[in-house]
Amino acid sequence: MCLAIPSKIVKIENTIGTIDVAGVKREISLLLLENASVGDYVIVHAGFAIHKIDESTAMESLKYLRELGSIR
């Protein structure tokens, strides 16, 4: 149910966005999102974008994970 593949918005028309996941395109609803823009990475659930990924937060948490892996 919870497909967690971050998808890139490549087109927006009214409340419908087109996402691209590794070359596969499909339409999603943007009704549950504030301020979606082309180029945003979003998490999609049951045909709706439910979250816009903040790049800097994503980078920080990845850095934390790498550090976590090097605890001695």
Partner 1 sequence: MSIKYMEEYRDPEISSKIIESIKKLSQKKVRLMEVCGTHTMSIFRSGIRTLLPDTISLLSGPGCPVCVTAQREIDAFIELAKEDDVILTGFGDLMRVPGTDSTLQKERAAGRDIRIVYSALDALEIARKNPDKKVVFSGIGFETTAPTIAASILSAKKMGLDNYLVFSAHKIVPPALAALMETGEARIDGFMLPGHVSVIIGTKAYLPFFEQYQVPCVIAGFEPADILQAIFILVKQIEAGVLKLENGYQRAVVFDGNEKAQKMMHDVFETVDAVWRGIGTIPKSGLKIRKEFESFDAQKIFDVTVSDSKEPEGCACGEILIGLKTPPECPLYKKACTPVDPVGPCMVSTEGTCAAYYRYCI
Positions touching partner 1 (CB under 8 A) are: 1-6, 8, 21-23, 28-29, 31-34, 41, 43, 45-48, 50-51, 53-54, 57-58, 60-62, 65-66, 68-71
Tokens 């920080």, residue located: 60
- Sorted by sequence, the CB contacts under 8 Å of residue 58 that are 6+ apart come out as none
Q: To the nearest whole angstrom, how small is the minimum distance from the Cβ of residue 57 to partner 1?
A: 5
Contact 20, 7 (CB under 8 A): yes
